[in-house]
Amino acid sequence: MRRQNVVLTAILDSHLTYVSDTCGVAPRVSGNNVTWDLPDLALLEECNFTLTVQVPASATSGTRYPRALLLTSAGPEANGSDNAANAEIMAAYQLFLPLVLTGH
C-alpha cells in the first residue's frame, strides 16, 4: 500500500519569509503558503527535511510567530487526525562565543 499524491503545506505567519529547505523537491510559494508535492510514500514510510524561514529584521528577541503544517494524500490512512501540526517560531539572538582550552 502506498500513499499517493502526498502534499505537505507549511502555512507561515505573515511576518515570516520562506528562505529554503532541504527537501529536494522545489516547493510552490504563494503568499504565506509553501507547498511541496512529495513522492509517493509507503505506509509508515517517513521523509525528513529542514525548513528555513526568516523573521523580520525588526523582530525583538522572544517574539513568537505561528506556523502550521498540513499533510494530505490519497491512499491508505491509519489516522487522518494526526496530519496537522502547529508550532511557533521564536526570534532569538545568535551568539557565538569563543572556546579556549587550557591546561591539557
Domain boundaries, the chain: 2-90
pLDDT at 104: 63
Residue-level pLDDT at 93? 85
pLDDT averaged over consecutive 10-residue blocks of the chain (104 residues)? 87 97 96 95 85 95 96 78 92 85 75
d(CA 94, CA 32): 25
Distances (CA, A) of 87 to 35, 50, 64, 67: 17, 14, 10, 5
* Cα–Cα dist 72/97, whole Å: 43
Q: Is the pTM of this model over 0.85?
A: no
Paired residues of 67 in beta bridges: 12, 87
